[in-house]
Structure 1
Amino acid sequence: MAWSTREIAELAGTSLRAVRHYHQIGLLAEPDRHNNGYKQYGAAHLVRLVRIKRLTDLGFSLPQIAAMGDSDEHPEEALRALDDELAAKMERIRSARAELAALLDDSSHIDLPSNFVRPDAVAKLSDVDRSLVVVMTRVLGPRGLADYGKLLENVPEEPAGVLAFDDLPADADESTRREIVEHLVPYLRAVYAAHPGVLESRADAPKGPSHFDRTVAAAMSELYNDAQLDVLRRTREILRATDDGSGTG
C-alpha cells in the first residue's frame, strides 16, 4: 500500500506544507515515485511523520528533532531536557500569575517591582516623582530598594512650601527659589534622620554608586526643569555643609 502526499499528511495529522518543508530541510526522506511522477509514501514515512508530529506537539524544535536522527531509539535524554525546560517555564508562568494576581488585587503600579511599596504610598507621589522612583528601582540593589521602600511608605506629610516645588516654573525668580530651599532643607533633614539607610542606599547598587549617580542625574535632568534642579542643588549643598555630608547624591 502506498499513499500520496495528501493521504500521508492526513494520516499523520499534519499538513501538505509541513510534509514538503520536512523534505526541504532533510527531516523526512523523499519517497519513491510512480511511473506518473507522483510520490508514493510507505509505512516508514508515516512512522517518521507521526514521530515528528508528536515531538513538535511536545515542544521540540525542528533542529532538535533533526539532531535526534532517524533512529527509532527512545530519546530519553532529549525528553528529560525538555521536561526540565517545561518545568522552568511553568514556574515562570506560576510566578507571573501570582504577580498578576497581586496587581489586580491591590492595583499596584505595573512599572514598579512587586512587593516594593504599598499602592497607596505610590499614589501620594507626583507623576514626575514616580517616574524618578521607577528609574531608581532599576539601578538600586536589594538593600537600597528596601530602604527606599520603607521611606516611601513612611514619608512625612509635605508642608505647603515643599509642595510648591512640584509647581515651580522654570523661570522662577530668586526669592521664590530661595523660599522653597528654606522649606526643603528642614523637611529633608527630618526625612533622612528618620531613614538614615537611604543616605547609603547606593552602596549595593549592582553597577556601583557612580553608575547609580549618573543614571539618576540623567533622569532628573529630563524630569525636572532648570529652576527645580537649581533648588535641589542648593538644598543638597546646604545639607552637606550643615550636616557633614548627610545630603543625598
Structure 2
Amino acid sequence: MPWSTSELAELAGTTVNTVRHYHRSGLLEEPERMSNGYKQYRARHLVRLLQIRRLRDLGVPLAQIESVGSAGDTTKEALLAIDADLAASIERLQRARAEIRAIVDGASTTDLPAGFEDVAGRLSTTERSLMLVYEQLYDTEAMADLRTMVETESDDGSAEFEALTVEADDQTRQRVAEMFAPVIAQHLTDYPWLSEPTEHLSKGPRVTAQAFLETVGGLYNEAQLDVLGRASGLAREQAFGSNAAPSDDAAADDAAPEDAAPEEGERR
C-alpha cells in the first residue's frame, strides 16, 4: 500500500517539510497522485529518501548529493573531496575546543589572538583591541614578531601613556615620547619589515593602511596620537639617522600603505 507524505517522512525519520525540500531540490522525484490529489509514495521513494539522509548524515552538501549518489569514478572523487573538507572542519573544531577549554580554565582570553595568552597581562585593553585588528592585517610571521616585542619590552612609560588626556602639555608629551623612542628604534632595527611591511600583509596595502590608521585614530586620543607620532619620528632618527623616513604625523596625512606597519610604539 502506498505511503502518504507524512507516513514516508515518519518511516525515514525526517519531516514532511524536509521531504518537500528534497522535491524542490530535485533530489527526490515527485510520486504519482491519487484521484483525490494525495501523493502515493512507493518503495523506491523511501529508498531514495534514506540514501539522501545517509549522505546528509555523512556531511555531504545537498548540492553534491546527486553526483555522489551516481555510479562511476566521479562518486569516488566527490567523496574524497568531501572527506578533505570534513578533515579540515574536524581540525578547526578541535582547535576551537582546545581554545574554549583554555578560556574556561583561565589560560586564554577572547579579546586576544591565539598565541598571545602568555603576554595578556602585559597588554592594556586598547592594545588587545589593536592585536585583534592586526591579526586580520598581517601574516603569522609578523604576528609572532609582535608577540616577541610585547614579551621583551619594558613597561616604562606605559601607565603614563595610558593616562594621557587631551589636556597633556607639550613637555609631558615630549617626555613620554622620548621614553618610547629608544625601544621603537631597536625594534625598527631588529624587525626591518616594520618599515617595509608589504610582504607581511594579509590584505591589500591600501586596505591595510586605511584599517590601521582608522583603528589607531579611533582608539587613542589626540595627545596619545601626538606622542606616538613624536616617538616614531625620534625612533626613526635614532635607527636610521639622516635617512629616517617622515614621521607618522605626515604618514597619517598621506595614508601611505608602506607606513601601515604596527610599529612598537603604535601598538599602544
CA contact (8 A) 2:67 2:78 kept: no
CA contact (8 A) 2:5 2:41 kept: yes
Q: Where does residue 129 of structure 1 map in the other structure?
A: 127
Give the TM-score normalised by the residue count of structure 2.
0.71
CA contact (8 A) 2:109 2:117 kept: no
Q: Where does residue 143 of structure 2 map in the other structure?
A: 145
Q: Where does residue 83 of structure 1 map in the other structure?
A: 83
State the alpha-carbon separation in 2 of the partners of residues 79 and 124 from structure 1: 48
Q: Where does residue 155 of structure 2 map in the other structure?
A: 157
Deviation at 1:235, TM superposition (A): 2.8
5+ long unaligned stretches in structure 1:
none
Change (3 A) 1:168 1:210: same
Q: CA RMSD in A?
A: 3.4
Is 1:23 the counterpart of 2:23 in the alignment? yes
5+ long unaligned stretches in structure 2:
248-262
State the alpha-carbon separation in 2 of the partners of residues 169 and 58 from structure 1: 58
State the alpha-carbon separation in 2 of the partners of residues 166 and 183 from structure 1: 11
CA contact (8 A) 1:12 1:50 kept: yes
State the alpha-carbon separation in 2 of the partners of residues 61 and 209 from structure 1: 36
Q: 1:226 aligns with which of 222, 233, 238?
A: 222
Deviation at 1:211, TM superposition (A): 6.1
State the alpha-carbon separation in 1 of the partners of residues 61 and 19 from structure 2: 15
CA contact (8 A) 2:176 2:227 kept: no
Map Cα deviations across residues 76-135 of structure 1 (whole Å, 9 max, x no partner).
Answer: 4443333332222112212222333333444323233222351xx332333223323333
Is 1:205 the counterpart of 2:200 in the alignment? yes
State the alpha-carbon separation in 2 of the partners of residues 80 and 41 from structure 1: 33
State the alpha-carbon separation in 2 of the partners of residues 194 and 62 from structure 1: 52
CA contact (8 A) 1:172 1:227 kept: yes
Give the count of matched residue pairs: 241
Deviation at 1:170, TM superposition (A): 1.0
Q: Secondary structure at the match of 1:153?
A: helix
Q: Secondary structure at the match of 2:182?
A: helix
Give the TM-score normalised by the residue count of structure 1.
0.75
One-letter code aligned to 2:88: A
Q: Find the structure with the greater CA-based Rg.
A: 1
One-letter code aligned to 1:169: T
Deviation at 1:148, TM superposition (A): 2.0
CA contact (8 A) 2:185 2:235 kept: no
User: Aligned residues: percent identity?
Assistant: 39
